[in-house]
Amino acid sequence: LAPSTQPWRSPGEPQAPFFLLTPRWPVECEVIHETIEHIGEGMLQLGFPPKPEPFCPPMGPEQALYNISEEQGTVVYHSSRALQGSCFTRARVGGAPGPLSSPASPLEGPQDTTLLFESRFESGNLQKAIKVGPYEYMLMLQPDLYTAKHTQWFYFRVQNTRQEPLYRFTIANMAKPNSLYGQGLQPLLYSQRDAQSRGIGWRRVGTDVCYYRGSAGEPLLFRLSWTVRFPHDGDTCFFAACYPYTYSDLQRYLRALAADPVRSRYCTVQVLCRSLAGNPVHLLTITSPGGTAGKRVVVVSARVHPGESGSSWAMRGFLDFLLSAHADAWLLRRLFVFKVVPMLNPDGVVVGNSRCSLAGRDPNRAYGMALPSSFPSVWHLRAMVQRVLAEREVVLYCDFHGHSRKNNVFMYGCDASRDGTGTRLCQRVFPLMLSKNAPDKFSFSSCKFQVQKSKEGTGRVSMWRLGVSHSYTLEVAFSGSTLGGRSSHFSVEDLKSLGRLLCDTLLDFCDPAPAKFQQCLVEADALLQQQMGHEPGSGGSWSDVSPSELESRYVTPCHSMSPHSA
């Protein structure tokens, strides 16, 4: 499968069969032979909670627990993948060759209540578990492979559960000083027994959830602690930071697309490039069959940060809607060519990283580097957009992400103070329209448009520098929404709905009738005038004010524009 060099291959033409490839792992990684799957694929009405799950009352810092240490307990699980300071050399299907080690301590008998931990599966992350009490465990996460940092994503299995006791888990090496776990976010639990017998999938659990500073030391680390009761004796359960979406999940979805005689007429699946480990980075071209003459282009990507799995569910909703029989989806396919890279960092997703690729660095800071051998996916994506821009307009670029410290959904755009007032206002129109179409999820007041020097290597800024006028990062909170009377976690259906809402907003944004666009321009100007303290109609100017100064204050917009309809 060679990298794609023909960006205008038309949907509707015959394409090669899509083969489900087993992921390639670095040879340092042991991988168990079991296939880990959860209900949800095709069973969303059963697999996920039907009602909103409210935020839990967080514990304050003054209630932080005593600082337990590894010396106070017994190591019952230890899986080490790569030595600090090492670097990626080669990969193979199945990871490390040879027989598997036994990182979990064996049970002493049927009365032994010690939990059995495991994380050596796709997207799994748990390095160590220390039993510090009969039902209390201190956990250590695996840093991103070939680094010593970026501990945030977790996903692991526990077996030998007991229903009656109250368990406490404390992850002792979280990297960020602030987290939504301090504002009501709860971990996710999946019970295999409940999935099999009752059709219940992932759900939010945990009481006494607390996020606090750990013991003094270098580097500075933070702790996430929660208590939970398991639903059954002898169950197999999983914990995760967000709804998992693995590279194999994506491949199964793409295989179903390629095999669908209707949807495959609108969509071709190609290989943009191969990752460092040799995993294909997929590129989808979506448009109506026939010629592409006169069509503008929309470029969408996701999962450059592997620990932000919610972005994959938003991408799933985007693709589901765009390839559906809905009249708006038909119109979008007729008007545009969509170039979609649903998983930019498959290696990071496979090994359970939070942020980095196998280069040991954040690929979303590498768009400005001419290093195709180190960051192949972002290099080839940027090169593809350059080729497209040489032929036609790219009306929008949007990169889907997750956010660990702010609630709701919001966007980052690109506002250069050297641009004229009209251009700076236009940067704000698309997010403002999205806030009106998703008033219970999207916060326009949380959007930022400043182009910071530290963000020059991001996809958003790089595409803008290439000439994509409307280039955004879509940030989806790990937690949920505080808008529209909500104070609850996002469900998978919430995340998927963002993809549909983005499609609705694209039609509003490109509507040949200018009324909605003009209304949002006027409202964006009024909001900026208010931020500068100018009275409405006073004629005050903000055009010479820097984006950083504008963002030091914000005003909440109204939601008077009716949502998009067919």
Of the candidates 393, 533, 526, the one whose C-alpha atom is nearest the C-alpha of residue 463 is 393
Contact 131, 117 (CB under 8 A): no
Which range, of 44-53, 102-111, 226-235, 254-263, averages the lowest pLDDT?
A: 44-53
Torsion from C-alpha of 71, 74, 80, 85, nearest 10 degrees:
0
pLDDT at residue 45 in the model: 40
Q: How do residues 26-64 score in pLDDT, each as one tens digit? A: 999 999 999 899 986 434 344 566 688 999 987 765 555
Q: Where are the alpha helices (DSSP H) in 372-475?
A: 376-389, 421-437, 459-466
Two tokens, residue 264: 């495959």
Q: How far apart are CA 129 and CA 347, in angstroms?
A: 25
Cβ burial, residue 102 (10 Å; 0-12/13-18/19+):
exposed
Buried b (16+ CB within 10 A) or exposed e, 467-477: ebbbbbbbbbb
Task: Indicate whether 17 pLDDT > 70.
Answer: no
Q: What is the pLDDT of residue 164?
A: 97
> Using one digit for the tens of pLDDT, what is the confidence trace for 438-485?
999 999 999 999 888 889 999 999 999 999 999 999 999 999 999 999
CA 355, distance to chain mean position in Å, is 10
Calculate Rg over the CA atoms of the chain.
Answer: 24
Closest to 59 (Cα-Cα) out of 211, 175, 174: 211
Token representation of residue 97: 């060759």
Rounded distance, CA 271 to CA 366, Å? 20
Query: How many angstroms from the chain centroid is the CA of residue 368?
Result: 22
Residues 24-62 as b/e (b if ≥16 CB within 10 A, e otherwise) read bbbbbbbbeeeebebbbeeeeeebbeeeebebbebbeee
Q: From residue 465, how far is each of 66, 176, 344 by CA, in Å? A: 50, 30, 20
> Which residue stretches of 99-172 are H helix?
none
Does residue 562 carry a pLDDT above 50?
no
What confidence tens digit (pLDDT) does each residue in 69-92 have?
767 899 999 997 765 558 999 999
Tokens encoding 133: 């009490």
DSSP output for 197-227: HH----EE--EEEEEEE-SS-SS--EEEEEE
* Higher-confidence position of 218 and 521: 521
> With pLDDT > 90 as the criterion, what percentage of the chain qualifies?
73
Q: Which domains does the chain have, with CATH numbers?
A: 25-240 (2.60.40.3120), 247-529 (3.40.630.10)
Q: Which two structure tokens, joined as six digits, stand for 254?
A: 């793409």
Confidence of residue 5 (pLDDT cuts 50, 70, 90): very low
Q: Which of 456, 475, 493, 551 is catalytic?
A: 475
Contacts of 4 (CB under 8 A, 6+ apart): 270, 271, 272, 273, 283, 380, 384
pLDDT value for 537 = 60
DSSP string, 256-296: HHHH-TTGGGTEEEEEEEE-TTS-EEEEEEE--SS--TT-E
The model's pTM: 0.92
Q: How far apart are CA 247 and CA 376, in angstroms?
A: 17
Task: Check if 475 is active-site.
Answer: yes
